[in-house]
Amino acid sequence: MNSVWSDKIKLPSFKRLENNIKTDVLIIGGGIAGILCAHFLHGAGVDYVLTEAETICSGTTKNTTAKITSQHGLIYDRLIRQFGAKKAADYLMANQAALEKYRQLCKNVDCDFEIKSNAVYSLNDKKKIERELSALKALGFNAQYDDNPPLPFKTAGAVVFENQAQFNPLRFLASVSEKLNIFEHTQVVKISNNTAFTSGGTVSAKKIIVATHFPFINRHGSYFLKMYQHRSYVIAYSGAENIGGMYVDEAKGGMSFRNYKNLLLIGGGGHRTGMQGGSYKEIESFAKLHYPEAAEKYRWAAQDCMTLDGAPYIGNYSALTPSMYAATGFNKWGMTSSMLAAQILADLVCGRKNRYADVFSPSRTILRTQTAVNFAHAVSGLVGISEKRCPHMGCKLKRNKAEHTWDCPCHGSRFDENGKLIDNPAVKDLK
- For residue 397, what is the domain's CATH number? 2.102.10.10
Question: Is 95 within a domain?
Answer: no
Q: Which pLDDT belongs to residue 64?
A: 96
Q: What share of the chain is helix, strand, coil (3-state, %, to 5)?
A: 30, 30, 45
Give backbone dihedrals phi and psi of 17, rounded to 5 degrees, phi first.
-65, 130
Question: Is 410 within a domain?
Answer: yes
d(CA 97, CA 206): 29
Does residue 199 register a pLDDT over 90?
no
Question: Do 379 and 396 form a contact (C-beta atoms < 8 A)?
Answer: no
Q: Which pLDDT belongs to residue 280?
A: 95
Burial class of 423 by CB neighbour count within 10 A (0 to 12, 13 to 18, 19+): buried
Mean pLDDT of 161-169: 98
Does residue 401 register a pLDDT over 90?
no
Range of the domain at 378: 369-423
Question: Is 11 within a domain?
Answer: no
Question: Is 391 within a domain?
Answer: yes
One-letter amino acid for residue 302 of the chain: A
Give 71's pLDDT tier (boundaries 50, 70, 90): very high
Question: Is 418 within a domain?
Answer: yes
Q: Which pLDDT belongs to residue 123?
A: 96
136-158: pLDDT as tens digits = 999 999 999 999 999 999 999 99
DSSP structural state of residue 395: P
d(CA 144, CA 158): 8
Question: Is 111 within a domain?
Answer: no
One-letter amino acid for residue 4 of the chain: V
Question: Is 29 within a domain?
Answer: no
Helices 85-105, 334-349: crossing angle, 10 deg rounding: 100
One-letter amino acid for residue 158 of the chain: A
Averaged confidence pLDDT in the chain: 95
236-283: pLDDT as tens digits = 999 999 999 999 999 988 999 999 999 999 999 999 998 888 889 999
Strand partners, 249: 121
One-letter amino acid for residue 274 of the chain: G
Q: Domain count of the chain?
A: 1
Does residue 176 register a pLDDT over 90?
yes
Would you list the DSSP string of 312-345? -EEEESSTT-TTEEEEE--TT-HHHHHHHHHHHH
Closest CA relative to residue 92, chosen from 71, 78, 73: 71
Question: Do 182 and 52 form a contact (C-beta atoms < 8 A)?
Answer: yes
Q: Which pLDDT belongs to residue 183?
A: 98
Mean pLDDT of 272-300: 94
Q: Which pLDDT belongs to residue 4?
A: 97
Question: Is 376 within a domain?
Answer: yes
Longest Cα–Cα distance in the chain: 61
- CA 118 to chain centroid, in Å, comes to 18
Would you list the DSSP string of 221-253? TTHHHHEEEEEEEEEEEESS---SSEEEESSTT
Helices 334-349, 32-43: crossing angle, 10 deg rounding: 40
Question: Do 328 and 305 form a contact (C-beta atoms < 8 A)?
Answer: yes
DSSP structural state of residue 219: T
